[in-house]
Structure 1
Amino acid sequence: MPLGTLDRQPPPFFRQGPSAQSKLAVYSALAIFLMVADARFGVMQPLRTALATALYPVQWVAMLPARGASVATAYMESLTAAQEKEAQAHFKLASMSARANQVEQLTLENERLRKLLDLRGRTHAQSLAAQVLYDAADPFTRKVIIDKGMTQGIALGSPVLDESGVVGQVTRIYPLVSEVTLVIDRDHSIPVLNVRTGARGVAFGDMSSTTHGMELRYMAANADVSEGDILNTSGVDGIYPPGLPVARVSKVERRVDTVFARIYLTPIGRVSGTNHVLVLEPVSAQIPPRPEPDPTPVKKGGGK
């Protein structure tokens, strides 16, 4: 064997050009150059845009199975939700139909009893629609500003409600806007009536335990109050008409160390996030004024 074939160099037939170390150095320098140039001058942006445009059809085809599965899943979920809502709507419609029949009968009986006893009918409050503009700036209160004021006939103390129930009361009026104190404000109170038992009480705003809560105070520990009871306005304050939904009893705590029960309420009206409200005329504006006292002095004794 010739001695020239024992060196480490490959024969001329297998030569591949530059060595691997040279290629690594050249390509590393080129990569660093391209990264610096792209970071500083964005020279690779046109190439990147062209590659993204060319690969978009491939990506779109690759995403078809995932999109199909997502659409099928969403369709099945929406179908199930629609069926559940339909069942709930049928149940609610049936219950409302039965309740409507009862209401018609009770209304007829009420009218007959009032005619029999010669009682004055309940007054119907005038209403005015308004829109909530924004929340009050004070973070320690729960108040909103509506777009109706003194020029539109808004009166101080007017009840404010939405489609669900009582929201609050007008506590300050301006020429074009008014300030409404919500029922969850800590300084707000409203007389209520338990629909189930007929017991009267006073509901206060409670922001200590929850940001959107109320509390029924000064109720005895053994009072007949249960979770789920509905509280309506009693109408004894001369402001709110009777029968407006106010809150629902969410929790009742009875302790042996106090004579009063701790009763937590959840407002029925949408006190957070409502946009349109109805402002009612206060009941006191519909009640006839108190007659003037007789100025004639009453004589005391029987002497002449």
Structure 2
Amino acid sequence: MPPGTLERSAPSFFRHGPSPRARLLLYGALALFLMVADARFHVTEPLRAVVATLLYPLQWVAQQPVQLATYGAGYVQSLQATQHDLDETRRSMAEMALRAGQTEQLLRENTQLRELLALRERLTTAARAAQVLYDTADPYTRRVIVDQGQLAGVEPGSPVMDAYGVLGQVTRVYPLLSEVTLLIDRDQTIPVLNVRTGARSVTYGDPLAAPGGAVELRFTPGNADVQEGDLLTTSGIDGVYPPGLPVARVVRVERRADSTFARIWCEPLARVQGARHVMVLQPLKAELPERPEPQPAPGKKRGGRK
């Protein structure tokens, strides 16, 4: 018989191993033993440490392409964002330079007019910086707590504003803290002036008018000249808020035939939901001259008749 035709492998009887069911039971018991041993005695911790140490170089090499791609994309995005911010900064600087020139000219004209009309100088309001600590626990009011109080010179009624506009008014003063009622609170009112028309009105807080709260111009005649986009500033006639502080902007005007007054909603310019740093101003009444006492009419004396 040729050598290539001989059967050199072992017969099937000798090659027959454990049955699949026996293998399943064996591997299941081994897995259960390893899990119990690892949970109770932590026998696989050294093995895990060794495997993690051996696989770390491979993991580092595998992560390099992803990190390089992420770094490259972030670098390109940062370049684009920086270029965009640079363009915006240059445009803002050009606008500010133009406004600075116009403002300087207006200030000179204002000074000349005041000297010509012998008017008193514009009031300057003292201010101090403060930080918003937290909102009050009362869910029915819109108030915040700032870290400046009576020891810092804060007075009740002091106006509070952020970098964008009027935020509210100090209603309670403690030795180290103060409570500020936001302008969207239903008990807060601010006398305002429409910059476009010069008409005076009063804003009332309405915390439910919008998701973030709003203010409303009430008791405004239906035929009043109020348009969407009008800017409202403090009028200064209440003796609390200095004039000219931005308050809100008109966002919706509803005129009804069955109502004498129009419904006007305004959006506050200040960040009533996320303000962190604010300025506490001195009340305007502290800088106004005292009201002169009424003089008796000619020919009459106080406490008696002619």
Task: Provide the TM-score with structure 2 as the length reference.
Answer: 0.85
Offset of residue 181 of structure 1: 0.8
* 4+ residue runs over 6 A deviation: none
State yes or no: 1:111 paired with 2:111: yes
1:92 partnered with 2:92:
yes
How far apart are residue 20 of structure 1 and its match?
A: 4.6
Supply the AA of the counterpart residue of 1:25: L
Structure 1, unmatched stretches of 5+, are 1-9
Q: Deviations over 1:58-89 (max 9, x none)?
A: 12221222222222222222222222222222
* Residue 32 of structure 2 corresponds to residue 32 of structure 1: yes
Indicate yes or no: 2:78 matched with 1:78: yes
Query: What does residue 271 of structure 2 align with?
Result: 270
| Aligned-partner Cα distance in 1 for 2:40–2:252 | 64
Task: Name the structure 1 match of 2:148.
Answer: 148
Q: How does 1:151-190 map to 2 (within 5 A)?
A: 151-190=151-190
Residue type of the partner of 1:141? T
Q: Which amino acid aligns with 1:99?
A: R
Distance 1:177 1:67 in 2: 48
Distance in 1 between residues matched to 2:114 and 2:257, nearest whole Å? 45
Q: CA deviation at 1:296?
A: 7.4
TM-score normalized with structure 1 length = 0.85
CA distance 1:14–1:92, change in 2 (3 Å): same
CA distance in 1, matches of 2:131, 2:90: 32
> Which range moved further: 67-76 or 45-54?
45-54
Name the counterpart of 1:289: 290
Amino acid at match of 1:275: R
Q: Which residues in structure 2 correspond to 1:156-235 (within 5 Å)?
A: 156-210=156-210, 211-235=212-236
| Secondary structure class of the residue paired with 2:226 | coil
Supply the AA of the counterpart residue of 1:252: V
2-structure distance, mates of 1:59, 1:260 = 72
Mark the runs of 5 or more structure 2 residues left unpaired by the alignment: 1-9
CA separation of 1:48/1:227 partners in 2, compared to 1, >3 Å: closer, same or farther?
A: farther
* Range that drifts further, 109-118 or 86-95: 86-95
Separation of aligned partners in 2, 1:31 and 1:22: 14
Query: Residues 290 and 68 (structure 1 numbering): CA distance in 2 closer, same or farther, change over 3 Å?
Result: same
Question: What's the % identity of the aligned pairs?
Answer: 58
Please give the per-residue CA displacement for 1:2-54, whole angstroms capped at 9, x wherever unaligned: xxxxxxxx727962654554433322221222233334444333323332232
Distance 1:140 1:284 in 2: 30
What's the C-alpha RMSD, in Å, of the aligned pairs?
2.6
For 1:249, the equivalent position in structure 2 comes to 250
